[in-house]
Chain A
Amino acid sequence: DVKVTQSSRYLVKRTGEKVFLECVQDMDHENMFWYRQDPGLGLRLIYFSYDVKMKEKGDIPEGYSVSREKKERFSLILESASTNQTSMYLCASSQRTGGGYFGPGTRLTVT
């Protein structure tokens, strides 16, 4: 059974703080993704990675960076958190050819 875990379910940070969100998968998946989900806006891709140290921008990369030093771990970094980054963040992983399994999500509030 695929397991994707995220470091926190809820997080409250102050404007300007550096924020790290971590995602770990245990299925040896090549691909990993970070999405944010806001009401009425669906699932928007922030970044994805198809291999260790490889990353590609998604639709809304501004204000975010990512790190993938190990195959099983994909981190999302908010360099300087802003209130418009308050959202639900969902990590997912997949095989190169398909699948796509989500973590439980991190609800981030920036005050």
Chain B
Amino acid sequence: GENVEQHPSTLSVQEGDSAVIKCTYSDSASNYFPWYKQELGKRPQLIIDIRSNVGEKKDQRIAVTLNKTAKHFSLHITETQPEDSAVYFCAAFDSWGKLQFGAGTQVVVTP
């Protein structure tokens, strides 16, 4: 089955700097890669996603890139703000629709 690895497990950045979270997946049939943000005490929220036929997608300060050959995908957050502090999860959605998650990255943005 699909195995998703996520790094780093914690990331501390200064406000205004960029943050990058990296994930790898194992199943080459996986075709959809969503990212979730989970604030303390809340449910994970879908923030951006990318499909396997696209290399990059951007939405304001967040962007996701996908390298199908290497089975890597990454989340980039630019101009970080304190409200970006949360746990971020990457996920991979295989051809059966099974959604598997990485272990999560705790992002702390310090003013």
Contact = CB atoms under 8 A, between A and B. Distances in A.
Interface stretch (A16-24, A68-76, A78-86, A89-97): A89-97
A56 interface: yes
Say whether chain B's binding surface is mostly helix, strand, loop, or mixed: strand
A50 B96 CA distance: 8
A45 B3 CA distance: 12
Nearest to B87: A42
A98 to B, nearest CB: 4
20 contacts: A42-B101, A42-B104, A43-B44, A43-B89, A45-B98, A45-B101, A48-B98, A48-B99, A56-B98, A58-B98, A96-B97, A98-B34, A98-B49, A98-B93, A99-B46, A100-B36, A100-B93, A100-B99, A104-B43, A105-B43
Interface of A: 30-31, 33, 35, 41-43, 45, 48, 50, 56, 58-59, 90, 92, 94, 96-105
A79 to B, nearest CB: 23
B100 A45 contact: yes
Interface of B: 1, 32, 34, 36, 43-46, 49, 51, 89, 91, 93, 96-104
Given A42-B104, A100-B91, A33 B99 contact: yes
Nearest to A45: B100
Contacts of B93: 94, 98, 100
A103 B36 CA distance: 13
A54 to B, nearest CB: 10
B110 to A, nearest CB: 22
B3 to A, nearest CB: 10
